[in-house]
Amino acid sequence: MSLRISESLDVIGPYRNNFSVGRKMCLLAVVGVLAVVCERVASQRFPPGFQFGAATSAYQIEGGWNVSDKGESIWDRMVHSRPDLIYDHSNADVACDSYHLWEEDLRLVQEMGLDFYRFSISWPRLLPNGFSNKVSEDGRRYYSAVIDGLRARGVAPVLTLYHWDLPQRLQDLGGWTNPLIVEWFADYARVAFSLFADRVHTWITINEPGSVCDVAYRGFLAPGLRDHEVGALLCTKHVLLAHARAYRVYQEEFKPKYHGEVSIAYQECWFEPKTDQDLEITLLTREYLFGRYSHPIFSAAGGWPPALERYMADKSKKEGYPRSRLPAFTPDEIQLLKGSFDFYGLNHYTSRVVRGAAPGEPLAFISQGVEEVRAALETRPRWGTATSSWLKVNPEGLRHLLKLIKQQYGDVKILITENGYSDTGDQLEDRDRVNYYKDYLEQVLLAITEDAVRVVGYTAWSLLDNFEWAAGYTSRFGLYSVDFSSPRRPRAARASARYYAGVLRARGPHADTTRNTTA
């Protein structure tokens, strides 16, 4: 039986006075609880000095693929010769046309109030044939203008040297499998440092070495080659050495004058074992996919992760190779690599559950597992999904990963160089993306406040919708949408851009929504 309000008050009649006293007390209690909650929410602020930014990369946004004297990149070559490798057969010949519309991008950066903007130099736009004997005047002018434009708006530029668009000329000479690329990259880095280090203080040498070697040498990214057995591992060694050489060039020739910071940005998932029996395989999978790139640089001992080194040596022997497929480092190389960082750059998006694979179980790379170490990868039903099939939403995974990095490498400064969510891009009211950012930012904050992990900044991927590599334009990561059907490529703020602008004002995951003028 249900009572209407007036009836229920009548039933209470004789106790009305008591009720109103009780009600007042209740109200006071509620107000008290609310005040505590509000205070907790308000105190959910990132520490002073914490920096917020957003990121893009040259090939994904610039377009202008053949303007002026720009050289051809491996992406230009692949999308033109093998459009079938791109899901919607598209390319980034024009993309967001940021080569022409960069001032528009800077307007968005300013509108959100970003502390920094992470973007990349296209190697063949600056050095058209890949080598440092010829520097493109137009390339120099373009990046200089973007850097100056950011600084004029009070936004710090964070510059990536390599976000996957290798000059095709260097690919024709073997690309990342040729040991000489280590010096070619150092030469390129020196040119970039000499031109821009007076105005750029944070540098990323290589974006996601694991994608450059493991994903690209399984055919999913340019140059679209398939040689994960040997090619990917040669690439690993050279990419790492190239990073370390560039780091040393900066340290020796530029740091004394400009005092900037240089590091590398890793792509890392959170991996957890399915059962206690899967702990060992989980560790080996982590070492194969991530430790292979971080241990030589961040561990105290240097060199390859020991367990992985042993595993690869044994496996190569069984396969009949005269030496390990994982190429050895010389003692000098170990020293060159060790400590070649000023912070830990982390791109993080997703999590997986790891278990030992059953004999004969198919292990397509990442979507099913990791064949090299016979690991199967699963996801948990409760994890949300994004448009990119690989992106499963597990915010706690980021906190676990941050703790693990600290546990492995000590109290290193961590800059989250990418984190973001993909959808189909159809709507501006992207509530799922807002929730993703909020939930992941909360975990970053917990890692800082509860676990004392030294996270110094956070980068949203991406400032605007762009060419999502093999997914073409079918997966959108933008805080701002881009209408790729219009030659003017108009940008429009999504709800997530307004949310992120609020995060910047509040300096915490609970965005300040009081002002609606920005974004």
- Pick from 372, 418, 430, 465: which binds ligand NOJ (CB under 6 A)? 418
CA dihedral 163, 167, 170, 176 (to 10 degrees): 10
Of 268, 291, 280, 289, nearest in space to 356 by CA? 280
Q: In the sheet that 369-370 helps form, which strands lie side by side, from edge to edge?
A: 270-273, 351-356, 375-378, 369-370
Q: How many CB atoms lie within 10 A of CB 364?
A: 11
Min separation Cβ 207 and ligand NOJ, Å: 5
Min dist CB 73 to ligand NOJ, Å, is 14
Q: Of the candidates 190, 94, 1, which has an alpha carbon nearest to the alpha carbon of residue 472?
A: 94
Rounded Cα gap, residues 250 and 342, in angstroms: 11
**Nearer residue to ligand NOJ within complex by CB, 287 or 468:** 468
Bond prior to 509 in cis (omega within 30° of 0): no
Nearest alpha-carbon partner for 216 in 94, 85, 329:
85
Decide: helix, strand or coil at residue 296: helix
Taking CB under 6 A as the criterion, the residue among 72, 214, 442, 468 binding ligand NOJ is 468
User: Does the protein bind ligand NOJ through residue 207 (CB under 6 A)?
Assistant: yes
**Using N-to-C axis directions, what is the helix angle for 16-43 and 5-12, rounded to 10°?**
120
Q: For residues 322 and 317, give the distance between their C-alpha atoms in angstroms, rounded to a whole number.
A: 7
Give the Cα-Cα-Cα angle 456, 435, 379 (nearest 5 degrees). Answer: 90
268 Cβ contact list (under 8 Å, min separation 6) = 290, 346, 347, 348, 401
122 is a contact residue toward ligand NOJ (CB under 6 A): no
Residue 274: Cβ within 10 Å count: 18
Would you call 429 a catalytic residue per the annotation?
no
Q: Considering the complex, what minimum distance in angstroms separates the CB of residue 163 from ligand NOJ? A: 6
Residue of 62, 72, 287, 418 with catalytic role: 418
Q: In the stretch 2-41, what mask flags binding to ligand NOJ with x, by CB under 6 A?
A: ----------------------------------------
Nearer to ligand NOJ, 60 or 122 (CB): 60
Residue type, 180: L
Least distance in angstroms from the C-beta of 115 to ligand NOJ: 20
Taking the least distance from each CB to ligand NOJ, the nearer of 208 and 268 is: 208
Q: How far is the CB of 335 from ligand NOJ (least distance, A)?
A: 29
Nearer to ligand NOJ, 208 or 214 (CB): 208
Among 105, 165, 208, 342, binds ligand NOJ (CB under 6 A): 208
d(CA 496, CA 468): 19
- Binding ligand NOJ (rule: CB under 6 A), the pick from 57, 90, 132, 351 is 57
Nearer to ligand NOJ, 114 or 326 (CB): 114
Q: Using CA atoms, how far apart are residues 10 and 432, in angstroms rounded to an integer?
A: 46
Cα three-residue angle 115-119-125, rounded to 5 degrees? 150
For the chain, first and last CA: distance in Å? 51
Catalytic residue, chosen from 62, 72, 208, 468, is 208
Report the residue number, 241 or 464, with the smaller CB distance to ligand NOJ: 464
CA angle 460, 465, 469 (to 5 degrees): 95
User: Restricting to residues 320-349, which ones interact with ligand NOJ according to CB under 6 A?
Assistant: 347
Q: Which residues are bridge partners to 354 per DSSP?
A: 273, 377
Which residue of 461, 473, 499, 500 would you call a contact of ligand NOJ, by CB under 6 A?
461
Secondary structure class of 202 (helix, strand, coil): strand
- Residue 75 CB, nearest distance to ligand NOJ (Å)? 11
442 sits near ligand NOJ (criterion: CB under 6 A) = no
Residues 81-120: x where in contact with ligand NOJ by CB under 6 A, - otherwise, as a string? ----------------------------------------
Beta strands 392-393 and 414-418, pairing class:
unpaired
Q: Which of residues 349-408 bind ligand NOJ (CB under 6 A)?
A: none
Minimum distance of ligand NOJ from residue 460's CB (angstroms):
11
Q: Restricting to residues 220-279, which ones interact with ligand NOJ according to CB under 6 A?
A: 267
Binders of ligand NOJ in range 175-194 (CB under 6 A): none
Positions of E strands within 336-454 = 344-347, 351-356, 369-370, 375-378, 384-385, 392-393, 414-418
Q: Is 208 annotated as catalytic?
A: yes
Q: Crossing angle for the helix pair 181-196 and 137-152, nearest 10 degrees?
A: 50
Least separation, in Å, of the C-beta of 347 and ligand NOJ? 5
Nearer to ligand NOJ, 55 or 312 (CB): 55
Shortest approach of ligand NOJ to residue 468 CB, angstroms?
5
Nearer to ligand NOJ, 329 or 437 (CB): 437
Contact 474, 88 (CB under 8 A): yes
**Binding stretches for ligand NOJ (CB under 6 A):** 57, 60, 207-208, 267, 347, 418, 461, 468, 477
Catalytic center residues: 208, 418
